[in-house]
Amino acid sequence: MATSAAGAPAISRITSGAVADLAAGAALLGSGGGGTTRTSAAMLRAELGDGRSVPLVSLSSLDDSAELVCVGAVGSPVAINERPPHGDEFSAAIECLARHRGRQPEAVVPLEIGGLNALMAVMAASRSGLPLVDADAMGRAFPHMTQTTLSAARIPAAPAAVVSSVTSSVISTADDSRLDDLVCSSLKTLGGWCAVAAYPETASGYRGAIVDGSIGTALQLGSGFRAAAGDPTARADFLLSHQGVLLGSGTVLEAVRNDLGGRPRGAITLNDREDPQRTLRLVTSDEYVCVLDDGRLVAASPQPICVLDRTTWHPISATALRVRQQVDIVAFPASPAWPRFHPSVGLPSYGLRPIMGAL
Amino acid sequence: MKQPPVTVRDLLSSGVLPGTRVVAGDAGLDRLVAEIVASEINTGVPAADTLTIAEVAGPGSIRESLHNIDTMLRRAADAGAAALILCQLPAEALPLSPVRIANRYRVPLVAAPTHHSIDLAYRLKLALHHADVHAADKLCTLVDRIPRNASLGTVVSVLADSLDATAAALTPQGIVMAGQRPAVKLDIDWHRPVPVAEVTGTGAYAARPLLNPDGNLAFWILAHHPLGGVAWRDLAARVLHLAEAFAAKWWASEKVTAEREARYRSRLLGEVLAQGPELPRRTAELADRIGWNITGWNTGVHFLRLSDETQDTASASALDQALLAAGLTLGPVIEQPDGWATWVSAGRPGQDTTTLTEAVTYALRTYTAQPGTIPVAAGIGTSASGPAGLASSLNAARRAALAAAVGGTAGSVQHVDLLGTDELLRMASTSLADSGLLAPLLASPHGATLLKTVEAFLDFGTLRAAQRLHLSRNTVTTHINRASRVLGVNLGDPDQRLLVHLACRAHRAPGEQS
């Protein structure tokens, strides 16, 4: 995947005109999860109406001592769609954490570039009046708030501020997984989702521990994807220019879904359009976890994996894929910010046994 | 000694994998196996010609490892492995993808839900590297498991268990005596008593005939395995050879018992029929002891054999079952020289003729539909009271059966009450001499004398017959009564009188004068 330059971002401000590209790119990077971007894109377009915009800054342009904070929504995408945020939850979470630490952040970092959280981060920056850093902490979408390159680099997620319609509180714990457990177990009480501000750290601490340039990447990806979706002849060039790979093109033969440890699990079997004996298998959870081609692993988390309707190239989420759908399976390279074989994003993080000789 | 090459098929049919199922990859069943290896599902590296056994569940849930089956299968295919056995995995838990991969790369994929990999590996290694020991173990186990005086059912059941196969004992006509008939058609000449063992496109089978002391074929014992190969075929032939001794012992014992019981029942029925209205106390006690109800109103049913085949217990048993299935609660089916006889007993007269005829017709249709049964026609007598009534009803039934048999159609049924003059004349014109109507009379003591008296009586009446035969009128009357009883006819009835009259004429040699 072509990442934007680590230096200055390609654009300096995010306006309503960039929302469509950002939403399309975020949908691809959602890897079949992260929630639909349609509602959040509409909200952001309204937020950036009347010529309003959000400054986009590169991490390298910030002072070493500049305080940064990651922002995103945690919880069920269905709940977020049913009870959409009004936008102030994110700025309230940033403010809550700032009060707790006694330091005001100087910029906002998206917690997750995949799915609706890419757009919610812009919303948070807009409402809090802070610039948005061209980066994110995941490089795609993941089900847990601490499955981040920051946690992999041992930057603590806590203290973290949690804001919902019913509460506004700060959680302090030395253990990232405990923070994730606390937030997840409270979601039902919080109304299904909450706004989170976490990973308070200086810009120098973030450097080298974050997926740099991911907003720019999402914008470029989204722009190219929108053009390619409408023009099938441009699809190969689009993939080539973003280091994407068409893993297979076929029809869904079987979709088995169940539950493992409270998380959804799925095994989707497809044949290949040109070689019907060839078998493609998608292992799914909240997102697409890995792809097997006749028993060989050809893509796996943290790579962004997308399943696209073959005709429209509309992204299909992991929970919406159905038998007889004709699809293309596409994968992009994992962010280099992720250490190779890191356990927090591999198959074991989804409760699955690892595959020998995994990518 | 060098071991013969062993295929996946041989191992799967070796009997150490009961309850397993080949889920996919059948095209690779004839791959040679050089070694057995137990390994982890996610880390195992199959080698060429190895049969790999992997535990799917392990310390976690099956769902944690299902994707590893795909990758393990592919590693097995790339390495040229012989097969993959998945332990602790119900076949239905498998998604479609491993099935497709196994089929594409022809790697047999076997689900062994109740087995553990280490134990299975040990047993398969024994079958692979020590086939003789494995075969000897099978033979010893068979001998140990079959008890003394085992029934045929037990022998066949142990046979099936030992070979992990479908096993059965079948008559030459294909009637199942014990066990379960294989689901596929076996290419065996059932009337040629030669042991056979073959590998076919639908598995392998072995069969051995058992002979009667007179050298005639009694029945077959056989086993079939849908995955069987050469090794299974050879082992099955040896196991069947051993099982044959147990089956033959059962058969000899069964035959002695059956013949003794049949003789006993036939003799007792003969005693009952030879008596008058009052049975001697001893005969009544014997009949009562074996459960015969003959004191009420009895309706005789006679099944007349239409072929010259020797009556067998299988046909008698099939007939018994067909009658039961038709809802008939009859007495015992008793072997007679020309077929079988039985009767219905009721507490009061008035047996529903139509219902009984329909039920017997239905039963014979069921019986005739079974392959290999002796063709019969049936006759039903008139309901009559007590042992004497039973005798006359059975004789009438036999006569009706003769009428039913005239057409030569197996399964025909005739009630004696429905026999009309036309029927009788048709019988007479067909072949009264061969009909056997007079057979009981001819077989009885002084039968020829009685027949001569009957002929004279029918031709000339009592007075002139006495004159012509130089007998007293009382003697003629006594002869006629005795002949009527033996024949089971009422010579006062015009139809029956005409039938006997015609039979006498037909019996008489051409040119012979009355």
> Using one digit for the tens of pLDDT, what is the confidence trace for A105-120?
999 999 999 999 999 9
* Mean per-residue pLDDT, A229-236: 91
The pLDDT confidence band at residue B407, using thresholds 50, 70 and 90, is low
Check: CB of residue A126 under 8 Å from CB of residue A48.
yes
Q: Which amino acid would we find at residue B231?
A: A
Spell out which residues of chain B touch residue A267, defining contact as CB-CB under 8 Å. 66-67, 95, 97
pLDDT tens per residue, range B95-146: 899 999 999 999 999 998 888 888 899 889 988 888 778 778 888 888 888 8
pLDDT at B424: 58
According to DSSP, residue A330 is labeled E
The pLDDT confidence band at residue B310, using thresholds 50, 70 and 90, is low
Does residue A358 surpass a pLDDT of 70?
A: no
Sheet architecture: strand order including B166-170: B176-179, B166-170, B217-225, B203-211, B196-200
Q: CB of A269 within 8 Å of any CB in chain B?
A: yes
Interface residues from chain B to A (CB-CB < 8 Å): 41-43, 45, 60-61, 63-68, 70-75, 77, 95-98, 100-101, 104-105
Does residue B182 surpass a pLDDT of 80?
A: yes
**For B90-155, where are the E strands, in sequence order?**
109-112
The pLDDT confidence band at residue A2, using thresholds 50, 70 and 90, is very low
How far is B82 from A41, CA to CA, in rounded Å?
55
Measured N-to-C along each axis, helices B230-274 and B131-145 cross at an angle, to the nearest 10 degrees, of 20
pLDDT tens per residue, range A258-316: 876 677 888 999 999 999 999 999 999 999 999 999 999 999 999 999 999 999 999 99
Interchain proximity B97–A279, CB inside 8 Å = yes
Give the minimum alpha-carbon distance from B99 to chain A in angstroms, rounded to a whole number: 10
Does residue B364 surpass a pLDDT of 50?
A: yes
Alpha carbon separation from B325 to A67, A139, B170, B412 (Å, rounded): 91, 75, 21, 18
Interchain proximity A267–B67, CB inside 8 Å = yes
The pair of structure tokens assigned to A339 is 């250490």
- For B104, the closest of A256, A294, A347 (CB atoms) is A294
* Mean per-residue pLDDT, B347-353: 73
- For A283, the closest of B67, B72, B74 (CB atoms) is B67
Considering only CA atoms, which of A56, A67, A77, A207 is closest in space to residue A133?
A56
* Mean per-residue pLDDT, B24-45: 90
Give the minimum alpha-carbon distance from A326 to chain B in angstroms, rounded to a whole number: 17
- For B101, the closest of A258, A295, A354 (CB atoms) is A295
> Cα angle vertex A353, ends A348, A354, to 5°?
75
Check: CB of residue A206 under 8 Å from CB of residue A68.
yes
Does residue A11 surpass a pLDDT of 50?
A: yes
How far is B151 from A253, CA to CA, in rounded Å?
51
pLDDT at A331: 96
Give the minimum alpha-carbon distance from A250 to chain B in angstroms, rounded to a whole number: 14
Give the minimum alpha-carbon distance from A36 to chain B in angstroms, rounded to a whole number: 27
pLDDT at A14: 95
Q: CB of A256 within 8 Å of any CB in chain B?
A: yes
- Relative to beta strand A107-110, strand A211-212 is unpaired
Give the minimum alpha-carbon distance from B315 to chain A in angstroms, rounded to a whole number: 52
Does residue B495 surpass a pLDDT of 60?
A: yes
Considering only CA atoms, which of A266, A260, A272, A264 is closest in space to residue A298?
A272
Give the minimum alpha-carbon distance from A277 to chain B in angstroms, rounded to a whole number: 7
pLDDT at B430: 53
* Between residues B418 and A136, the one the model is more confident about: A136
* Mean per-residue pLDDT, A145-165: 91
pLDDT at B345: 84
pLDDT at A305: 96
Check: CB of residue B216 under 8 Å from CB of residue B190.
no
- Number of Cβ atoms within 10 Å of the Cβ of B431: 11
β partners of residue B298: B345, B384
pLDDT at A8: 67
Size of interface A-B (CB pairs under 8 A): 77
Does residue A1 surpass a pLDDT of 60?
A: no
- Relative to beta strand A132-133, strand A160-163 is unpaired
Task: State the DSSP H helix or E strand holding residue B178, giving kind and residue range, or none if neither.
Answer: strand B176-179
Does residue A42 surpass a pLDDT of 50?
A: yes
Give the minimum alpha-carbon distance from A298 to chain B in angstroms, rounded to a whole number: 11
pLDDT at B60: 59
* Between residues B262 and B59, the one the model is more confident about: B262
* Between residues A291 and B489, the one the model is more confident about: A291
The pair of structure tokens assigned to A321 is 């894929």
B105: closest chain A residue by CA: A294
* Mean per-residue pLDDT, B236-249: 90
Query: Mean of the per-residue pLDDT values for chain A?
Result: 91
The pair of structure tokens assigned to B392 is 């006359």
Sheet architecture: strand order including A193-202: A13-14, A54-57, A132-133, A107-110, A67-75, A193-202, A160-163, A168-171
Give the range among A259-273, B147-161, B272-286 with minimum mean pLDDT. B272-286
Phi, psi of B221 (to 5 degrees): -115, 140
Does residue A353 surpass a pLDDT of 70?
A: yes
Give B10's contacts (C-beta < 8 A, 6+ positions apart).
Answer: B33, B127, B229, B230, B231, B232
Query: Mean of the per-residue pLDDT values for chain B?
Result: 84
Burial degree of B4 (CB within 10 A; 0-12, 13-18, 19+):
exposed
- Percent pLDDT > 70 in chain A is 96
The pLDDT confidence band at residue B428, using thresholds 50, 70 and 90, is low
Spell out which residues of chain B touch residue A269, defining contact as CB-CB under 8 Å. 95-97, 100
Give the minimum alpha-carbon distance from B55 to chain A in angstroms, rounded to a whole number: 13
Considering only CA atoms, which of B75, B5, B84 is closest in space to residue B38?
B84
> Cα angle vertex B216, ends B213, B217, to 5°?
110
Spell out which residues of chain A touch residue B65, defining contact as CB-CB under 8 Å. 352-353
Q: CB of A353 within 8 Å of any CB in chain B?
A: yes
- For B97, the closest of A265, A281, A355 (CB atoms) is A281
Does residue A210 surpass a pLDDT of 50?
A: yes
* Mean per-residue pLDDT, A53-77: 94
Phi, psi of B198 (to 5 degrees): -140, 155
The pair of structure tokens assigned to B23 is 């889920």
Alpha carbon separation from A322 to A255, A313, B273, B392, B478 (Å, rounded): 6, 15, 79, 78, 95
pLDDT at B434: 55
* Between residues B348 and A290, the one the model is more confident about: A290
- For A258, the closest of B43, B63, B73 (CB atoms) is B63
- For A294, the closest of B61, B65, B101 (CB atoms) is B101
pLDDT at A3: 47
- For A253, the closest of B67, B74, B96 (CB atoms) is B96
Does residue A5 surpass a pLDDT of 90?
A: no
* Between residues B356 and B427, the one the model is more confident about: B356
Considering only CA atoms, which of B123, B96, B94, B90 is closest in space to residue B19?
B90
Phi, psi of B205 (to 5 degrees): -145, 160
Q: What share of chain A is helix, strand, coil (3-state, %, to 5)?
A: 30, 25, 40
pLDDT at B32: 93
Spell out which residues of chain B touch residue A283, defining contact as CB-CB under 8 Å. 67
How far is B356 from A20, CA to CA, in rounded Å?
88
Does residue B511 surpass a pLDDT of 50?
A: no
Spell out which residues of chain B touch residue A292, defining contact as CB-CB under 8 Å. 67, 70-71, 97
Interchain proximity A256–B95, CB inside 8 Å = yes
The pLDDT confidence band at residue B333, using thresholds 50, 70 and 90, is confident
Spell out which residues of chain B touch residue A297, defining contact as CB-CB under 8 Å. 71
Q: CB of A278 within 8 Å of any CB in chain B?
A: yes
The pLDDT confidence band at residue B514, using thresholds 50, 70 and 90, is very low
A255: closest chain B residue by CA: B95
The pLDDT confidence band at residue B76, using thresholds 50, 70 and 90, is very high
According to DSSP, residue B26 is labeled G
Give the minimum alpha-carbon distance from B86 to chain A in angstroms, rounded to a whole number: 16
Does residue A359 surpass a pLDDT of 50?
A: no
